[in-house]
Structure 1
Amino acid sequence: MNRPLDGVRIVAVEQYAAGPYGTQLLCELGAQVIKIEAPSLGGDISRGLGPYFLGEADSQFFQTFSRGKQSVALEIKTPQGRADFERLVAGADAVVNNLRGDQPEKLGLRYQDLEAINPAVVCAHLSAYGRGNSREAWPGYDYLMQAEAGFMTLTGEPDGPPVRFGLSMVDFMTGSVFALGIVSAILGARASRVGCDIDVSLFDVALHQTSYPAVWAMNEGHHAGRLPRGAHPSISPSQRVRTKDGWGMLMCQTERFWLLFCDLVDRPDLKADPRFLDMPARRANLDALTPILDAIMATRTGAEWMAYLGGRVPFSPIADLADALDNPFVAEVAMRDHIDHPARPQGLEMLACPIKVDGRRMPAARAPALGEHTGALLGPKAAGNAR
């Protein structure tokens, strides 16, 4: 099948989530991603992250972020390990890492450190706060970025405490931006034959994701805050509503959807109500509109509303994760995958690559055992040295 990044080789000094998430996207699109793992540290730290393990030095967490990659076991700080690392760099399109911002210089992972070996190599760095600033040596993680970038004061109910996202979305967004930066720089380097350094940080990406509320704040002094029911800051109704069996999300993002909703629920009077005549009026009278919506939506279950409104007015029941995974639409679009694993006879259920090429999902494969490809990529002697 057509895999757009076939022939691209990436050497990755990576661990945990944000960096591996980005390189896994590239791997699924065909890139050869070679993980550099130090045996003295047990390899990627996520190999030992529970609660669900897969034999020695493997876990379901690790499988989530390193499927299809190759693993080379070497100690980059030793003379022999450095020599082996540089052999891989010589044939690489990119050398990437997601270490603290002060580590690429110490480990010789910058373009100026590797240019003599491979003038066209791209050196990509994902860190918490970036390089060349007062925080480059600071450790940092997703939840910290959610806190400092303002996400937590924009999430939750107005009278509740600050709330973080339920998932590590800063990690995943930063990994995605990292992947974009890597492939863009490789494209440029293949044309110019000159590599470069690329930098992405959790902090920068988190702040960038504050988007239009940040623009409003910088230019108008606007305070976005939190609205009841997770309501949109300017569009109404676009919020959580009560259904007969729980909660749903109703999103009348345009006037057309609002008018159609009123017709479909047999409430033409709402269209003529001066409190709800247009978007600004509905937004200003949200406290009055919400109980009316609840009374309407409580007449059917979430599934019934989905069947009735689906494709006409944007609505979804609010599902828990188990229900989300069992959604028949997930099966229809093939977003669940299955991989074989030697430590689990029944194999592993995984999420598929979200990118389709020519209408097809990318094939899946398990993540590697620690040092599984050392011999194949560096020769049997290197494999012996790594043990």
Structure 2
Amino acid sequence: MTSSKPLEGLLVLEFCQFLAGPSAGLRLADLGARVIKIERPNHGEAGRQIAIKNLRVDGSSLVFHTLNRNKESYAANLKDAEDLQKVKELIAKADVMTHNFRPGVMEKIGLDYPTVKAINPQIVYATVTGYGAEGPWSAKPGQDLLVQCMSGLAHLTGDKNDGPTPFGLAVADIITGSHMTQGILAALLRSAKTQKGALVEVSLLESMLDFQFEVITTYLNDGNKLPQRAEKGSGHAYLSAPYGVYATKDGHISLAMGGFTKLIEVLNSDRLRGYSEEETFTKRDEIMKVLHELLAQKTTQEWLALFEPQGIWCSAVFDYEQLMQHEAYKVLKMDQKLPLDTGEFIHTTRCPIRLNDERIFASKPAPRVGQDTDAITQEFNL
């Protein structure tokens, strides 16, 4: 564990729920910031109740625990004048404040940016919305699956004849949280030089559009032609064969871009020799069909042993069990166990960033609702 982290001494107040905002707070906390969650008394933030596979630990969902390690919890009823005043006193001493309420909510509470800026001119005030603060979708629920589907993303994954296929994880939330973190850090750098705060705004929709900048740029510069997924084994709607995933005799193998001539040479296939490099996209489905038939004849390991020495970019297709049994995963030391007061523990991943060749592991699990209220009240004389 690093003895000194770059964000130590930074105070962050997190008025966030679910995934996007808390994931930004997670990264700031991993890097040393003190992150205090401002939560409703008793029930806490709504993310405590959102469970994957109904898995719960110590009264909160497992999802909540994955996003809120290294944080503190201060319980406050923002509709209560006394509690709101105490929170404003905290804001006066904070460096960063984050929230992901719908547009208009913080204005009603009295914690909108102009109000907060008047309390603390140097604060970095960061918000997440679903679709921005204006426009016909501004009041629509900012939910991950909805945004994936509305952003065009669901038409990139899967095969040609599949319906729209979203990612099997909350990619919009996590990417938006990453963008929020970048904006906060940039604003803090400016603040250190100018002593001026900033309003940082991100939205799920804008983050998903940026996430697709490669393919959206292709669409905009290619006569607005919609992406066409490969007929079978599609890995990328805009890339040529052999790019994709193929069944082998005992599993699957992925082939990446480039090296088509070398691939023909190694496979020694007359059927493939009839295609030129220029036809790898225009006749992508034909070529991939031949490859599907050829690659089904040997095991994954047999193909890897043939391809890798020849510099052909390829890999086995692992599930989590296969991955975590592999030495390549073990050497990363990517997981950690966080003990709870109940005697249970949370087995999760660590921060992926290394500092000075040291991995960053968490020092404590997610807090219970209001676990730190009394201590914070005393410390800040609220």
| Structure 1 and Structure 2 fold alike (TM over 0.5) | yes
Partner of 2:152: 150
Partner of 2:254: 249
Q: Give the Å deviation of 1:343.
A: 2.7
Q: Give the Å deviation of 1:268.
A: 7.5
Partner of 1:323: 322
Q: Does the Cα contact within 8 Å between 1:12 and 1:35 map onto a contact in 2?
A: yes
- Which of 244, 263, 273 is 1:239 aligned to? 244
Change (3 A) 1:287 1:196: closer
Q: Does the Cα contact within 8 Å between 1:375 and 1:382 map onto a contact in 2?
A: no
Q: Identical aligned pairs, as a percentage?
A: 28
| Counterpart-to-counterpart distance in 1, 2:346 and 2:304 | 31
Q: Give the Å deviation of 1:381.
A: 11
User: In the alignment, does 2:340 pair up with 1:341?
Assistant: yes
| Counterpart-to-counterpart distance in 2, 1:340 and 1:309 | 44
Q: Does the Cα contact within 8 Å between 2:34 and 2:71 map onto a contact in 1?
A: yes
| Counterpart-to-counterpart distance in 1, 2:325 and 2:142 | 35
Q: Does the Cα contact within 8 Å between 1:111 and 1:196 map onto a contact in 2?
A: no
| Letter of the 2:217 counterpart | V
| Letter of the 1:283 counterpart | F
Change (3 A) 1:269 1:8: farther
- Which of 46, 55, 59 is 2:58 aligned to? 55
Q: Does the Cα contact within 8 Å between 2:148 and 2:166 map onto a contact in 1?
A: yes
Paired residues, number: 373
Matches within 5 A, 1:59-208: 59-208=61-210
Range that drifts further, 79-88 or 204-213 = 204-213
| Letter of the 1:340 counterpart | P
Residues 62-94 of structure 1, C-alpha deviations (whole Å, 9 max, x = no match):
111101111111112211111111121111111
Q: Does the Cα contact within 8 Å between 1:38 and 1:74 map onto a contact in 2?
A: yes
TM-score, length of structure 2 as denominator length: 0.90
Matches within 5 A, 1:189-338: 189-219=191-221, 220-228=223-231, 229-232=233-236, 233-251=238-256, 253-254=257-258, 257-263=259-265, 265-267=266-268, 273-275=273-275, 277-278=276-277, 280-306=278-304, 309-310=307-308, 312-338=311-337
| Counterpart-to-counterpart distance in 1, 2:12 and 2:235 | 42
Residues 323-382 of structure 1, C-alpha deviations (whole Å, 9 max, x = no match):
33433322111111111122343x221111111112222121311111111122112999
| Letter of the 1:239 counterpart | G
| Counterpart-to-counterpart distance in 2, 1:59 and 1:206 | 26
Look up the SS of the partner of 1:354 in the other structure. strand
Look up the SS of the partner of 1:4 in the other structure. coil
| Counterpart-to-counterpart distance in 2, 1:116 and 1:175 | 26
| Letter of the 2:352 counterpart | P
Partner of 2:350: 352
Q: Does the Cα contact within 8 Å between 1:330 and 1:336 map onto a contact in 2?
A: no
Q: Give the Å deviation of 1:8.
A: 1.4
Look up the SS of the partner of 1:356 in the other structure. strand
| Counterpart-to-counterpart distance in 2, 1:52 and 1:110 | 35
Q: Does the Cα contact within 8 Å between 1:54 and 1:343 map onto a contact in 2?
A: no
Q: Does the Cα contact within 8 Å between 1:70 and 1:367 map onto a contact in 2?
A: yes
Change (3 A) 1:308 1:36: farther
| Counterpart-to-counterpart distance in 1, 2:263 and 2:271 | 10
Change (3 A) 1:336 1:303: farther
| Counterpart-to-counterpart distance in 2, 1:310 and 1:8 | 47
| Counterpart-to-counterpart distance in 1, 2:10 and 2:380 | 26
| Counterpart-to-counterpart distance in 2, 1:35 and 1:379 | 17
Look up the SS of the partner of 2:227 in the other structure. coil
Residues 79-133 of structure 1, C-alpha deviations (whole Å, 9 max, x = no match):
1111111121111111100111222322233331112221100111101112144
Residues 133-159 of structure 1, C-alpha deviations (whole Å, 9 max, x = no match):
443333221111111111122222211
| Counterpart-to-counterpart distance in 1, 2:139 and 2:107 | 11
Range that drifts further, 31-40 or 319-328 = 319-328
Q: Does the Cα contact within 8 Å between 1:375 and 1:381 map onto a contact in 2?
A: no
Unaligned runs of 5+ in 1: none
TM-score, length of structure 1 as denominator length: 0.89
Change (3 A) 1:259 1:13: same
Change (3 A) 1:353 1:281: same
| Letter of the 1:334 counterpart | K
- Which of 356, 359, 362 is 1:361 aligned to? 359
| Counterpart-to-counterpart distance in 2, 1:120 and 1:381 | 19
Range that drifts further, 334-343 or 21-30 = 334-343
Unaligned runs of 5+ in 2: none
Residues 30-71 of structure 1, C-alpha deviations (whole Å, 9 max, x = no match):
11111000115x002222233111233x22111111011111
Look up the SS of the partner of 2:352 in the other structure. coil
Change (3 A) 1:17 1:299: same
| Counterpart-to-counterpart distance in 2, 1:206 and 1:7 | 32
Q: Give the Å deviation of 1:309.
A: 4.2
Residues 228-256 of structure 1, C-alpha deviations (whole Å, 9 max, x = no match):
211431332111111111222111x23xx
| Counterpart-to-counterpart distance in 2, 1:62 and 1:191 | 35
